[in-house]
Amino acid sequence: MLDADSLRLAWWAIIVVLILGFVLTDGFDFGACILLPWAGRNDDERRVIINTVGATWEGNQTWLITAAGAVFAAWPLVYAVSFSGLYGAFLLALFGLFCRPVGFDYRSKISDPRWRGTWDWALFAGGLVPTIVFGLLLGNLFLGLPFRLDDDYRPSYDGGFFGLFHPFACAVAALAVALCAMHGGAYVQSRADAAFARHIGRYTSAAALVVATLAVVCALWLATSLEGYRLPTPSASQWPQPPQNMQVQRASGAWLARDASTLAVIGALALVGLLGSMSAAWCTRAARYRLAFASSALTIVGVLAASAFTLFPFLLVSSIEPARSLTVWNATSSPKTLQIMLWIALVFVPLILLYTGWVYRVLAGPITVEHIRRDGKRLY
């Protein structure tokens, strides 16, 4: 059996991987829907975009459900604070997600242009709204959330939905939209015919350049003027600390006031993300579409992993009572619970990955206008 601290670190890593799996897979679904009304010049091209993701979007969405379930089991305090205090934001994202199944299923049932145009905008909302909400939430993890914990660990939340719209959080949300648009465009162009891929490539390249620009802006903002939080480095014997006993330091640039090795890891991951977005733009212009998609995926890994390491060990920071913030060390379930869950994860996560890889292999292949015209009755 692993020791308690190793189990906490293992589950931090597992949940980061689950979130990465969600963004890497459902991210290109969101991005394809975001591009749908703009990149599809006619109904056939819009159906090409829809059907590139139509066979896998439901399976991709299970990554989000799995990540939420893992947070509930491994970090119950985080689940309690976030899903109660951020109820409005999560509800808005959920209603955005509702647009996807009905949009995919109903859009092509009737050939009337107004009917299909309405569902195209519903799919657009189903991609854009959750992306904005999740981007706002990521930005607010750095800003801190206005919650309190009493001595019995009962949370109360002092903020509201519109309090999430801090300029930094809005910049992160814009980055999230551009990231998904780049990823979705790269995926669609990797499966479309050459002519349509070149057309989609304009949007992919533009989104990649926006990603690179916003990533640099957010990183500089984080390093220079944004107020951040940090913990003094404790000895292992001091963990776990109850939230009310922590000494949390708050200062401008504190998120990156780290030891040299941690800062090097964060910098390397951020550089991977930046180079990935530039590579995606270059590969798209060079018509190397599969490599562009791989570069887009690398960008997501770099950006999100750098964010996770920057926040570590914080999970949720209280902006009004920093000493009661939730960390990897004080917000987890019991070691026994984490141990049992770890064995389950070690068995089932590889099986899920193998099955997912097999599904993508079976469903691989181009989706073209000719396919839509020939097999349109069987497709979305």
Write the pLDDT tens digit of every residue in 56-74.
888 888 899 999 999 999 9
Torsion angles phi and psi, residue 91, rounded to 5: -65, -40
Provide the pLDDT for residue 235: 41
Provide the pLDDT for residue 188: 95
Q: Is the pLDDT of residue 369 over 90?
A: no
Report yes or no: 136 and 89 within 8 Å, Cβ to Cβ.
yes
The mean pLDDT of 236-245, rounded to a whole number, is 52
Contacts of 69 (CB under 8 A, 6+ apart): none
Cα separation, 219 vs 256, in Å, equals 10
Alpha-carbon dihedral sign for residues 164, 298, 14, 27: positive
Q: How far, CA to CA in Å, does 316 sit from each of 2, 10, 240?
A: 25, 18, 16
To which residue do tokens 């181009």 refer? 366
Helix ranges, the chain (H): 4-39, 43-54, 57-74, 76-85, 87-106, 113-143, 167-191, 194-224, 260-285, 289-311, 335-362, 369-375
pLDDT band at 16 (very low <50, low <70, confident <90, very high): very high
> Which pLDDT tens digit goes with each residue over 281-301?
999 999 999 999 999 999 999
Provide the pLDDT for residue 237: 42
Cα separation, 380 vs 377, in Å, equals 8
Torsion angles phi and psi, residue 106, rounded to 5: -100, -20
**Across-strand partners of 6?**
none
The mean pLDDT of 259-267, rounded to a whole number, is 91
Name the average pLDDT for the chain: 90
> Which pLDDT tens digit goes with each residue over 216-238?
999 999 988 898 898 875 544 44
Amino acid in position 22: F
Cα separation, 181 vs 203, in Å, equals 8
Beta-strand relationship, 147-149 and 155-157: antiparallel
> Which pLDDT tens digit goes with each residue over 93-123?
999 999 999 999 999 888 899 999 999 999 9
Report yes or no: 103 and 126 within 8 Å, Cβ to Cβ.
yes
DSSP sequence for 134-189: HHHHHHHHHH-B-EEE-TT--EEE---GGGG--HHHHHHHHHHHHHHHHHHHHHHH
User: Taking the CB of residue 311, how many other CB atoms lie within 10 A of it?
Assistant: 19
Q: Let me know if 332 is exposed, middle or buried by CB neighbors in 10 A (0-12, 13-18, 19+).
A: buried
Provide the pLDDT for residue 287: 92
Report yes or no: 86 and 138 within 8 Å, Cβ to Cβ.
no
Among the residue ranges 20-29, 129-138, 318-327, the one predicted with the least confidence is 318-327
Domains of the chain and any CATH numbers? 4-228+248-378 (1.20.1630.10)
Provide the pLDDT for residue 238: 46
> Which pLDDT tens digit goes with each residue over 149-176?
888 888 889 888 999 999 999 999 999 9
The mean pLDDT of 196-202, rounded to a whole number, is 93
Q: Minimal CA–CA distance to 206: which of 127, 133, 285?
A: 285
Provide the pLDDT for residue 351: 86
Q: Is the pLDDT of residue 242 over 70?
A: no
pLDDT band at 245 (very low <50, low <70, confident <90, very high): low
Angle at 280 between CA 19 and CA 42, to 5 degrees: 90
The mean pLDDT of 333-342, rounded to a whole number, is 91
Q: Is the pLDDT of residue 330 over 90?
A: no
